[in-house]
Structure 1
Amino acid sequence: MTVLLVEDDVGIGRFVSQGLAARGLSVRWERSGREVTGLVAAGAINLVILDLGLPDADGLDLCAAIRAMEIGVPVLMLTARGSLDDRLDGFAAGADDYLAKPFAFEELAARVDVLLRRDRDRKPDPVRFAALRLDPATQDATWDGQVIDLDPRGFALLLALARAGGEVVQRLTLIENIWGGDTDITDNALDVCASALRRRLGTSAPRLRVLALRGQGFALGLRQAADLPPT
């Protein structure tokens, strides 16, 4: 389990990161808010411990930005602002818990345990690529808010490519994602699946391109508006 600690105070940051690491957690410590949304969007974070008073950002704004991306990772606000109004502002921004400084590490650790258990049970977050939105929990796919009608295999292929963010996904990886690991599916079946997906996207999301790279795999790309046929 990986915790993203966002804290500019060196003493508190070292105290918290070392304490959580001693409990077997992986801790990524950031001293500013610059990388927070990108790290969370990458999908490898199970909990964010977020200070409100950062040198380059307001923690409330960062929390709200995470929620605006439809990312449900638990957020624990860790701050010197401890009034009732401050706590209510934190919850309104999307925080799951709020701990005022100074604090006992044992209390922090107990709250972290609760939030990590919650993270294990949460549904997967929607995946986005440009105007594409894919919901793994419901298998709903939309482009710019318009529904894309996909069969389960087409959705699985598009989801794997969208998660790669435009990078190449190897053929074997795609076959395992779509048909499972114990299968005798051939490359030809994957090509057929990709062709069917292209036809669906050609109607509902013509800017999306499913690119085949010889000897490698597939990637998701975008057509420029000038390259689209006139409507």
Structure 2
Amino acid sequence: MSDYYTLITALPWLPDLEQCQQMPLSRIALDQRLTMLTDADRQQLALIEHLYYPDEKVLRGSTDREVVQQWTDQLNQVNSEALRQRILFHLELRTLMAALRSRLAGMENSALFYGVGRWLPRIRKHWFEPGFGLEEVCPELQPLQRVLAKEDALLVEQTLNQWLWQDLAFCEKQHRFNFEALACFVLRWVIAERHLNYEAEAALTEFKRANLQLLEITGLEQQLAQGEV
């Protein structure tokens, strides 16, 4: 893999996730800059992005077992060990979250649960223990349990995104001007974009809720239906 001094120095600064109010460049502008990549690195980046945030339409059309096997096969195609570990960390967090939700939904046979990463054997073995026996080895476990208990999907995503952002930012600093740093920047860009989309959707939902509440309080909805206004 190549070094990309010119490309990386031309990329804008990404603020901390909680301070990000708008994207510093569009995806079109980012892709234009990425044309400086070699063909091999461009293919690797596409694979890494696909693994980090899989296509949900594809996931819905496959069984859990098929998805896990596909992820495992594709992980072996990632040439960079550092980037492979970043992807694996993300998939492990998603596996842990899926296990907590599956157990809460009533799944009793842990052999039917599929996931990725080092925690899967312990999750299956200690399925009925509150923390799957991971309390001493997984610092993200208890915070994730707390946010899941609040049944707030936006809060769960915000928590996951913060962990992923910090993991990628640390890796990016370790590698500076090579492909790994560039890939970490692109993945952080994706997280920032998704974060802003979540915030926009949450704001729209809250607006609609407040608007409906206002209609109920004032009785305007009934008046409109009766043609009084």
Normalising by structure 2, report the TM-score. Answer: 0.26
Larger proportion of helix:
2
Larger proportion of strand:
1
Normalising by structure 1, report the TM-score. Answer: 0.26
Which gives a bigger RCO, structure 1 or 2 (Cα 8 Å, sep 6+)?
A: 2
